[in-house]
Amino acid sequence: AQSVTQLGSHVSVSEGALVLLRCNYSSSVPPYLFWYVQYPNQGLQLLLKYTTGATLVKGINGFEAEFKKSETSFHLTKPSAHMSDAAEYFCAVSGANNLFFGTGTRLTVIP
Protein backbone atom coordinates (compact mmCIF):
# COMPACT_ATOMS: atom_id res chain seq x y z
CA ALA A 1 0.00 0.00 0.00
CA GLN A 2 1.08 3.55 -0.67
CA SER A 3 1.40 6.24 1.98
CA VAL A 4 3.42 9.31 2.83
CA THR A 5 4.50 10.82 6.12
CA GLN A 6 5.30 14.47 6.45
CA LEU A 7 7.41 15.34 9.47
CA GLY A 8 6.42 18.63 11.05
CA SER A 9 2.95 20.06 10.65
CA HIS A 10 4.36 23.58 11.00
CA VAL A 11 7.70 24.94 9.85
CA SER A 12 8.84 28.52 10.35
CA VAL A 13 11.82 30.04 8.57
CA SER A 14 13.21 33.51 8.24
CA GLU A 15 13.01 35.24 4.88
CA GLY A 16 16.13 34.29 2.93
CA ALA A 17 16.76 31.13 4.92
CA LEU A 18 16.77 27.57 3.64
CA VAL A 19 13.42 25.82 3.39
CA LEU A 20 13.37 22.09 4.12
CA LEU A 21 10.11 20.19 4.23
CA ARG A 22 10.36 16.48 4.91
CA CYS A 23 8.47 13.66 3.27
CA ASN A 24 8.94 9.92 3.59
CA TYR A 25 6.98 7.49 1.52
CA SER A 26 5.94 3.87 1.54
CA SER A 27 5.14 2.13 -1.70
CA SER A 28 4.89 -1.46 -2.84
CA VAL A 29 5.85 -0.44 -6.37
CA PRO A 30 8.33 2.10 -7.76
CA PRO A 31 6.72 5.35 -6.66
CA TYR A 32 5.67 8.43 -8.49
CA LEU A 33 6.03 11.30 -6.01
CA PHE A 34 4.57 14.78 -5.98
CA TRP A 35 4.68 18.00 -4.01
CA TYR A 36 1.64 20.24 -4.09
CA VAL A 37 1.22 23.72 -2.62
CA GLN A 38 -2.01 25.21 -1.35
CA TYR A 39 -2.32 28.96 -0.89
CA PRO A 40 -5.13 30.27 1.28
CA ASN A 41 -8.56 29.74 -0.27
CA GLN A 42 -7.07 28.15 -3.36
CA GLY A 43 -6.77 24.67 -4.77
CA LEU A 44 -3.75 22.41 -4.87
CA GLN A 45 -1.04 23.43 -7.32
CA LEU A 46 1.65 21.03 -8.46
CA LEU A 47 5.13 22.18 -7.48
CA LEU A 48 7.08 19.26 -8.90
CA LYS A 49 6.93 15.56 -9.53
CA TYR A 50 9.25 12.59 -9.73
CA THR A 51 8.37 9.77 -12.07
CA THR A 52 11.53 8.22 -13.47
CA GLY A 53 15.02 9.36 -14.41
CA ALA A 54 16.94 12.07 -12.60
CA THR A 55 16.46 11.88 -8.87
CA LEU A 56 16.85 15.63 -8.33
CA VAL A 57 13.71 17.28 -9.57
CA LYS A 58 13.30 21.00 -10.07
CA GLY A 59 9.93 22.64 -9.82
CA ILE A 60 8.31 26.03 -9.93
CA ASN A 61 9.19 28.98 -7.71
CA GLY A 62 12.73 27.75 -7.09
CA PHE A 63 11.75 24.56 -5.27
CA GLU A 64 13.43 21.23 -5.79
CA ALA A 65 13.22 17.77 -4.31
CA GLU A 66 15.47 14.75 -4.31
CA PHE A 67 14.23 11.19 -4.53
CA LYS A 68 16.30 8.95 -2.28
CA LYS A 69 15.23 5.35 -2.61
CA SER A 70 17.55 4.11 0.14
CA GLU A 71 15.96 6.54 2.59
CA THR A 72 12.44 6.34 1.11
CA SER A 73 12.45 10.12 1.17
CA PHE A 74 11.41 12.96 -1.11
CA HIS A 75 12.25 16.12 0.83
CA LEU A 76 11.39 19.53 -0.59
CA THR A 77 13.95 22.33 -0.46
CA LYS A 78 14.40 25.92 -1.49
CA PRO A 79 17.67 27.76 -0.88
CA SER A 80 16.15 31.09 0.07
CA ALA A 81 12.63 31.55 1.43
CA HIS A 82 10.44 34.35 0.18
CA MET A 83 7.40 35.80 1.90
CA SER A 84 5.26 34.52 -0.96
CA ASP A 85 6.25 30.93 -0.10
CA ALA A 86 4.01 30.96 2.97
CA ALA A 87 1.46 28.23 2.28
CA GLU A 88 0.52 24.64 3.01
CA TYR A 89 2.64 21.99 1.30
CA PHE A 90 1.52 18.45 0.61
CA CYS A 91 3.60 15.47 -0.40
CA ALA A 92 1.81 12.73 -2.32
CA VAL A 93 2.51 9.31 -3.80
CA SER A 94 0.63 7.82 -6.70
CA GLY A 95 -1.72 4.88 -6.53
CA ALA A 96 -3.23 3.16 -9.52
CA ASN A 97 -5.86 5.83 -10.13
CA ASN A 98 -5.40 8.28 -7.30
CA LEU A 99 -2.98 10.11 -5.08
CA PHE A 100 -2.19 9.44 -1.44
CA PHE A 101 -1.44 12.66 0.40
CA GLY A 102 0.45 13.43 3.56
CA THR A 103 -1.03 15.54 6.33
CA GLY A 104 0.62 18.68 5.05
CA THR A 105 3.17 21.14 6.38
CA ARG A 106 2.28 24.76 6.95
CA LEU A 107 5.23 26.98 6.08
CA THR A 108 5.49 30.36 7.76
CA VAL A 109 8.06 32.85 6.54
CA ILE A 110 9.20 35.41 9.10
CA PRO A 111 10.25 38.83 7.75
By the 10 Å C-beta count (0-12 exposed, 13-18 middle, 19+ buried), 49 is classed as middle
The Cβ of residue 36 has, within 10 Å, a number of other Cβ atoms equal to 21
Binders of another protein among residues 57 to 76 (CB under 8 A) are none
- Decide: helix, strand or coil at residue 86: coil
Which distant-in-sequence residues (6+ apart) come within 8 Å of 19 by Cβ? 11, 13, 63, 76, 77, 78, 79, 81, 85, 107
Could you say which residues in the range 87-106 bind another protein, by CB under 8 A?
Answer: 90, 92, 94-104
Stretch that binds another protein, among 10-18, 37-45, 62-70, 72-80 (CB under 8 A): 37-45
Nearer to another protein, 81 or 88 (CB): 88
Question: Which CB atom, from 17 or from 86, has the smaller least distance to another protein?
Answer: 86
State the nearest-atom distance from the C-beta of 94 to another protein, in Å.
Answer: 4
Is 7 a binding residue for another protein by CB under 8 A? The answer is: no
Residue numbers of the site for another protein (CB under 8 A)?
A: 32, 36, 41-46, 49, 51, 90, 92, 94-104
